[in-house]
A and B are shown apart, each in its own frame.
Chain A
Amino acid sequence: DIVMTQTPSSQAVSAGEKVTMSCKSSQSLLYSENKKNYLAWYQQKPGQSPKLLISWASTRESGVPDRFIGSGSGTDFTLTISSVQAEDLAVYYCEQYYDTPWTFGGGTKLELK
């Protein structure tokens, strides 16, 4: 199974701050035939279901604010929030869909400083 490791596990932030969080996979998620990285980011707010933010490592879903930026390739990926808003306080999960069993990272929890 592909192991996904997210760091940090939690991060205290202030509104307006730039935030970065990391996701590393135990093997490359880059499929050579289409040059796509099979990596997604989800946001889960307290008491809610996860919500897809980004697919293919860097493609924002429709309606997702452009302050959410996904980057990286191969085994190293980053989710950046350029200017954190109060409504962004949540747990963020990365997920690989390169191969089953699809696997998630342990999550990064954004908390208010």
Chain B
Amino acid sequence: QVRLKESGPRLVQPSQTLSVTCTVSGFSVTSYHVSWVRQPPGKGLEWVGAIWKGGSTDYNSALKSRLSISRDTSKNQVFLKMNSLQTDDTGTYYCAKLGAGVMDAWGQGASVTVSS
């Protein structure tokens, strides 16, 4: 059974760095691409970036300067790091498995508030 679970801090101070971990089971991160999507409270979905099964990455250009996506294949985990956080980075961060180009399985999401 495919499962993804995000974990990370619920509260981050402005200007600090957000680190969220996506732990997957039921598939290997070396066999499927993994994507990150975020959603501000009460708003729509924004694609953040992806790590391809070969290990290369692609980022939303609007976030690229602050963003890093990496993985630990031995633990089947994918990591999202975003620095210089501002209040408008508040929201839920989802990781999702990519199947044939679409996000066919999603985690429950990690809710993050950026506030002092």
Q: Which residues of A contact B (CB under 8 A)?
A: 1, 38, 40, 42, 44, 49-52, 55, 61, 93, 95, 97, 100-107
| Interface of A, helix, strand, loop or mixed by DSSP | loop
The total number of A-B Cβ pairs within 8 Å is 54
* B:30-78 near A, CB below 8 Å: 35, 37, 44-47, 50, 58, 60-62
Whole-angstrom distance between the Cβ of B82 and the nearest chain A Cβ? 15
Which residues of B sit under 8 angstroms from A97, Cβ to Cβ? Answer: 101-102
Q: Which of B44, B50, B104 interacts with A93 by CB under 8 Å? A: B44
Question: Are B94 and A49 in contact, CB atoms less than 8 angstroms apart?
Answer: yes
CB-defined A-B contacts under 8 Å, sample of 13: A1-B61, A40-B102, A44-B45, A49-B106, A50-B37, A50-B106, A93-B44, A95-B45, A100-B47, A101-B47, A102-B47, A104-B46, A106-B44
